[in-house]
Amino acid sequence: MNRQAKEAEAFRQLHAAAQDMVVALAQAAAQIPSMGMRTWALAVLALAAAAMSSAGVARTHADGLTTQAARIRHVFIIVLENKNYADTFGTSTQDPYLRQSLVPMGALLTQYYGTGHVSLDNYIALISGQAATPDTADDCVPGLTGALGNYNDVAQTGWAGQGQVVAGSGCIYPAGVRTLVDQMTQEGLSWRGYMEDMGNDPARESATCGHPVIGIGTDRTNTAEAPSSAVPLGDAYATRHNPFVYFHSIIDSKTCRSNVVNLNRLPADLAQRRTTPNLVFVTPNLCDDGHDGAGTGAPGTTCANGQPGGLTSADGFLRTWVPRILASAAYREDGLLIVTFDESTFGAVTSSRNATTGQTQVDITYAGESCCNQRPGPNLSGVRPHTTTIISTPQEVQRLVFAGFGGDRIGAVLLSPFIIPGSTSATPYNHYSLLRSLEDIFRVGGHLGYAADDRRTGYHLDTIGNDAAIFRHRYHEPPPAPH
């Protein structure tokens, strides 16, 4: 930890101790028998608390980031799908642009983890700090089988520590659950989610703020729609990869239709710095994010649109869109691009034959590894390991086995004028860490859910913007040359 990071941590601890002291003083003041003395003591206490609060806010906003990450005002995020670190950044030959071009240009986070399996819970964690419900952990597709998914309200029964929603089921969070973009809006900052293919088939979803009708069995976007005469481009938009439509605070707002849009809107928004949102969140379609297809192009392994999918299509997507982002005025002046994945893929496949039934049992196991002292949350505690049967025929039983509640190691690549090119960091991070980092970069004045510290248990996340292994030093290094 460098000197500035140590100072920031020392201040955090001092500020927390001061908060405890104020609470203790308030309790003591309440016990003073004399009304006049008690009033005077409380008045002094209020002034002390206000001074402490002002100092804390000033420190958080002006000096909370100890590197040149403090200069970032535009963040671009591209989320890909279901690839493990060892393949993406080690053995794969399908992603030469990501590995051979982007990694040397930027910084590689070698210990970045997803927060869950299978998809939706990761996206929700990334923008809200909320852990999974039993339904969001299953992509709101009961048993992870069938073409139709649910798009129903979270059945909240209470609140747990660190602002966690307690719920036995449901997908869409109540209006009282805040997100990063709610924080940004409150601070006068702009944001937009760009969803590839959204609205290609208007019968499935709208081209703006596209989501199913609220209810059970209403989500028809779980599988890609092939191109046809009615829908020439096909439609591989997946609601579960669009985190913004799982919060009533967003979908109930009139601004949802202007802020959650098709990806084809992005080029115009990148044209000028003033038209580029502070947060640009990009979700490729089910083929271009690597979810569908094997990446080889072999018959029977392609996406619904005939493209190879896998890391091959994901790499092609990056090759198309990353140069446009890097060429934008907003990125060149004060930008940060983050390319990561929602979760890793499965870790092992085992097969055995049941001599009694004659069936072949195939177990697809997700290790569910995590980092950063991640908590399962109030809704998944005690339900891992967990097994879900997705195929059951007289010949075969196929099961998904979730050994842990994490999302396994995925890695992330960061590019910015303020990044040291070719740098790496082995500091553990996850989606909650990224949320915390974005909150610090945008100076929204607080942290949501599991992005926040919990001094009672010692829970604390590192901020990526304070990572001196990858970001230029804030005070002693000159700014990068214009490019």
Same domain, 121 and 243: yes
Local confidence band at 192 (pLDDT 50, 70, 90 cut-offs):
very high
Give tens-digit pLDDT for 149-161.
999 999 999 999 9
In the chain the first and final C-alpha atoms are separated, in Å, by 31
Tally of residues, the chain: 483
CATH of the domain at 77: 3.40.720.10
Domain that holds residue 34: 3-63
Domain contains 260: yes
Q: How are beta strands 396-402 and 412-415 bridged, if at all?
A: unpaired
Q: What is the DSSP string of 375-443?
A: ---TTTTT--SEEEEEEE-SSEEEEEEE-SSS--B--EEEE-TTB-TTEEE---EEHHHHHHHHHHHHT
Catalogue the E-assigned strands of 95-240: 107-109, 112-113, 149-151, 156-160, 164-167, 191-195, 215-219
- The percentage of residues in the chain with a pLDDT greater than 90, rounded to a whole number, is 80
Determine the average pLDDT of the residues in 233-243. 98
Considering only CA atoms, which of 170, 164, 262, 178 is closest in space to residue 214? Answer: 170
Query: 3-30 and 35-63 are packed helices; what angle lies between their axes, rounded to 10 degrees?
Result: 160
Same domain, 335 and 454: yes
SS (H, E, C) 304-341: CCCCCCHHHHHHHHHHHHHHHHHHCHHHHHHEEEEEEE
Question: Which residue is listed with tokens 């980031």?
Answer: 65
Q: Is the pLDDT confidence value at 3 over 90? A: no
Catalogue the E-assigned strands of 128-220: 149-151, 156-160, 164-167, 191-195, 215-219
- Whole-number pLDDT of residue 70: 97
- Give the max Cα distance, the chain: 86
Same domain, 228 and 86: yes
How many CA atoms does the CB half-sphere of 341 hold within 13 Å? 34
CB within 8 Å of 413: residues ≥ 6 apart: 98, 102, 103, 106, 107, 108, 109, 338, 339, 340
Query: 431-442 and 120-128 are packed helices; what angle lies between their axes, rounded to 10 degrees?
Result: 30
Give tens-digit pLDDT for 196-231.
999 999 999 999 999 999 999 999 999 999 999 999
Q: Is the pLDDT confidence value at 64 over 90? A: no
Same domain, 41 and 109: no
Local confidence band at 75 (pLDDT 50, 70, 90 cut-offs):
very high
Domain contains 219: yes
Local confidence band at 54 (pLDDT 50, 70, 90 cut-offs):
very low
Considering only CA atoms, which of 39, 114, 45 is closest in space to residue 81? Answer: 114
Domain contains 363: no
pLDDT-wise least confident of 22-26, 268-272, 281-285: 22-26
Local confidence band at 145 (pLDDT 50, 70, 90 cut-offs):
confident
For 317-325, the CB contacts below 8 A with 24+ separation are: 317/78, 317/284, 317/288, 317/289, 318/78, 318/97, 318/98, 318/102, 319/97, 321/78, 321/266, 321/282, 322/78, 322/97, 322/102, 322/415, 324/266, 324/267, 324/270, 325/76, 325/270, 325/280
Determine the average pLDDT of the residues in 377-397. 90
- Whole-number pLDDT of residue 61: 37
Domain contains 373: no
Determine the average pLDDT of the residues in 53-73. 63
Q: Is the pLDDT confidence value at 55 over 50? A: no
DSSP structure class, residue 282: E
More confident residue, 343 or 40: 343
Determine the average pLDDT of the residues in 300-312. 98
Domain count, the chain: 2
What CA dihedral angle connects 182, 185, 189 and 193, to 10 degrees? Answer: 60
Same domain, 282 and 141: yes
Rounded CA-CA distance 270/76 in Å is: 11
More confident residue, 41 or 91: 91
pLDDT-wise least confident of 24-28, 127-131, 230-234, 296-300: 24-28
- Whole-number pLDDT of residue 63: 42
Catalogue the E-assigned strands of 19-151: 74-80, 107-109, 112-113, 149-151
Give tens-digit pLDDT for 170-182.
999 999 999 999 9
Neighbour-count burial of 19, counting CB atoms closer than 10 A to its CB (0-12 exposed, 13-18 middle, 19+ buried): middle
Domain contains 150: yes
Q: Is the pLDDT confidence value at 2 over 50? A: no
Angle made by CA atoms 258, 74, 338, in degrees to the nearest 5: 100
Considering only CA atoms, which of 403, 410, 413 is closest in space to residue 366? Answer: 403
Tokens describing residue 58 = 């000033």
Same domain, 54 and 107: no
Same domain, 164 and 54: no
What CA dihedral angle connects 293, 296, 300 and 305, to 10 degrees? Answer: 50
Same domain, 416 and 436: yes
Listed residues 11, 35, 63: the one ending a domain:
63
338 DSSP β-pair partners: 77, 414
Give tens-digit pLDDT for 100-122.
999 999 999 999 999 999 999 99
Contact status, residue 163 vs residue 129, Cβ threshold 8 Å? yes
Q: How are beta strands 191-195 and 260-262 bridged, if at all?
A: parallel
Give tens-digit pLDDT for 403-461.
999 999 999 999 999 999 999 999 999 999 999 999 999 999 999 999 999 999 999 99
Same domain, 185 and 215: yes
Rounded CA-CA distance 436/448 in Å is: 8
Domain contains 369: no
Domain contains 382: no
- Whole-number pLDDT of residue 477: 52
What is the chain's alpha carbon radius of gyration, rounded to the nearest angstrom? 24
Listed residues 23, 42, 63: the one ending a domain:
63
Tokens describing residue 104 = 């040397």
Mean residue pLDDT of the chain comes to 88
Give tens-digit pLDDT for 339-386.
999 999 999 999 999 998 899 999 999 999 999 999 999 998 778 889
* pTM of the predicted protein model: 0.86
How many CA atoms does the CB half-sphere of 430 hold within 13 Å? 31
Same domain, 56 and 185: no
Same domain, 41 and 94: no
Rounded CA-CA distance 78/346 in Å is: 22
Same domain, 43 and 122: no
Domain contains 125: yes
CB within 8 Å of 283: residues ≥ 6 apart: 79, 193, 194, 195, 196, 241, 242, 263, 289
Q: Is the pLDDT confidence value at 475 over 70? A: no
